[in-house]
Structure 1
Amino acid sequence: MSRFGWVMLTLIVAAVGGFLSMLSFGPGEVVVPDIAAPAKQAAAGSAASLIMPIAHYPVASLHHDWGDPREGGKRRHQGLDLIAPAGTPVVAALPGTIEKLFDSDRGGHTLYIRSRDGRWGLYYAPLKGYAPGLAEGQRVDQGQIVGYVGDSGNAGAGNTHLHFAVSWMRAGDKWWQGEPVDPYPLLAGKTASR
């Protein structure tokens, strides 16, 4: 083979070697976050062992609408809608602290509860109103009435329901932050304590 041939072969081998070095073969150091960790902890009986957020709500009436498209597909539903008559009592699904009472165009009268261990955030909307005397910073017990089912915000008159959302909270997360967690598997098979 001529000198030119050896140079070309060397360049080709180097190029192929460089290309192969950019590829990954085998498992390597791939880190996959455990997105099921919150649900696993809840199932194991941690502080996130939720009860049904509407008093006496039948488990059979739960409809798994997590991830359904909203606003023409612009966003995904990140909670559960529990259909109930206006004024039905809404309860703290776990013990915690009232982190925020808030009125918004979309959610209407809303309520945020942070679990006592700080790892879970619960969101309730659109409420007809809050339980008498309820205030930000107040500690609530699991099963305590915190509000009432309504149709405030953009729910539409007569569309009474509770939008219930659960978030896995990291240190420093504010009341509107956190990683959304599907509440359906956390509530399926549960019964209300009141």
Structure 2
Amino acid sequence: MNRCLHKSSTLHWPRLLGAFFICLSLYFGMLGASEEAVAEEPGPTVSLMVNGKGVFSDVQPQNENGRMLVPIRFIAEATGAQVGYDAESKQVTLEQKGRRVSLIVGKNIAYVNGKHYTLDVPPKIVSDRTLIPIRFVSEALGYRVYWDQIARVAQIESQEPDDSVAVVETGTNPYVVQAGDTLSEIASQHGTTMSAIKKNNYLSSDNLTIDQILFLPDGSRKALNPLSKKVGDSKLLGSSYHFPFNNRSWYEPYGDSFGSDREWTESNSGSVRSHEGIDIMAPKGTPVYSVSTGTINRIGWNTYGGWRVNITDAAGQYRMYYAHLSAYAPGLRIGDAIQAGQLIGFVGDTGYGGAGTVGMFAPHLHFGLYRNDDGRAIDAYDYLRYWEQNKIASPFS
């Protein structure tokens, strides 16, 4: 398990929600009146996350007088809230955590556990979907809200984080296991103990494998076989690079799949090609973050990679390739400057066919690393294992 989870701090609702919806108002003010802007998107976009995953719907959120309205299914399916609808009275109800919220389509009135409230904007029906004001409902149900101003994505959290999974505490002194190494010898050579190494790396046994990366605990001597000697460019081991998932995202343990055989080809000739990246299996909708600061040089559909984005790093030496996305963060374009740790898209299962093809494989992120001068693919596995200790913190951590 590789999920990073932390306890959430207390948030001040009035101030947070106020800032959140001011940002939403500005965003929709710039975008709402322009259908051309929507048409220019390089592919599907997601502007709302619930409990750490992008939420998809056939009806997009809408802005009404600076208030964001979202389909009720956004809330119900993603949070587990119980939803009811009375067609005769047009009354919508949501129940969760001992709270009952009632709203009436087209009316500016609402009730929370029987107490009357006046809404700034009423619920409405669009394309047979009931849209409700997210600010009021989130506040009434006790959810937490965060507005990612750079990515232009709203995030809602209805659950308390789970601290049952831990991660490496000290990840700045990586040792690469050599043939014949034992845990006791490594501990002795670096002035630490076996138990300290096992604790820092969450090892359940003393068994080691060649090329395994061990992160030596605080107080250890500098690694005798450091990761910097194994990789091609030690500059990529700097603190300015981040893992493409945040510290609360779940994903399966991943191996070095670089160079493995792949049988699907665009020509369907039956030939075998070499895999040029690392696959990290994760649920659809898991947010994907840029590893480095840089510039988008390609974005949109690719027959093999599906909805993908290429980002050239700030130094112009490497290209990072993020493939099989289900959607992008809104507004991304070729030539855009991207910051390390910026939300750029969401895990999916797109690719292996014409635009929009899905379901040819399980959802995962394909991450590729290429030299910019000659386009040569580089095995990114060791870099990812190092960046894994430097994840972007969820705003709800």
**TM-score normalised to structure 1 length:** 0.69
Higher Cα Rg, which structure: 1
Q: Distance in 2 between matches of 1:60 and 1:166?
A: 20
Q: 1:84 to 1:106 in 2, by over 3 A?
A: same
Answer yes or no: is the 8 Å Cα contact 1:92–1:140 preserved in 2.
yes
- Work out the percentage of aligned pairs sharing the same amino acid: 35
C-alpha displacement at 1:157, in angstroms? Answer: 5.0
Aligned residue runs from structure 1 range 4-153, under 5 A: 38-43=232-237, 45=238, 50-56=241-247, 57=249, 61-71=253-263, 74-153=272-351
Write the letter of the residue equivalent to 1:164: F
Q: Distance in 2 between matches of 1:61 and 1:39?
A: 24
Q: Distance in 2 between matches of 1:86 and 1:60?
A: 13
Answer yes or no: is the 8 Å Cα contact 1:86–1:148 preserved in 2.
yes
C-alpha displacement at 1:52, in angstroms? Answer: 1.1
Corresponding residue of 1:193: 392
Answer yes or no: is the 8 Å Cα contact 2:324–2:350 preserved in 1.
yes
Corresponding residue of 2:364: 161
Q: Distance in 1 between matches of 2:349 and 2:252?
A: 22
Write the letter of the residue equivalent to 2:392: S
Runs of 4+ in 1 over 6 A off after TM superposition: none
Post-superposition CA distance 1:95-138 (Å, at most 9, x none): 01111112022211010000011001000110001101111111
Q: Distance in 1 between matches of 2:380 and 2:346?
A: 19
C-alpha displacement at 1:158, in angstroms? Answer: 6.2
Answer yes or no: is the 8 Å Cα contact 2:293–2:340 preserved in 1.
yes
Answer yes or no: is the 8 Å Cα contact 1:39–1:185 preserved in 2.
no
Q: Distance in 2 between matches of 1:126 and 1:153?
A: 6
Answer yes or no: is the 8 Å Cα contact 1:38–1:168 preserved in 2.
no
C-alpha displacement at 1:184, in angstroms? Answer: 0.6
SS at match of 2:346: strand
C-alpha displacement at 1:37, in angstroms? Answer: 7.0
Corresponding residue of 1:184: 381
Q: Distance in 2 between matches of 1:167 and 1:101?
A: 16
Write the letter of the residue equivalent to 1:117: A
Write the letter of the residue equivalent to 1:41: K
**TM-score normalised to structure 2 length:** 0.35
Q: Any gaps of 5 or more consecutive residues in structure 2?
A: 1-229, 264-269, 353-357
Higher relative contact order, structure no. (Cα contacts within 8 Å, ≥ 6 residues apart): 1
Q: Distance in 2 between matches of 1:125 and 1:132?
A: 17
Q: Distance in 1 between matches of 2:257 and 2:271?
A: 14
Q: 1:60 to 1:81 in 2, by over 3 A?
A: closer
Answer yes or no: is the 8 Å Cα contact 2:250–2:282 preserved in 1.
no
Write the letter of the residue equivalent to 2:314: R
Q: Distance in 2 between matches of 1:180 and 1:95?
A: 19
Write the letter of the residue equivalent to 1:52: F
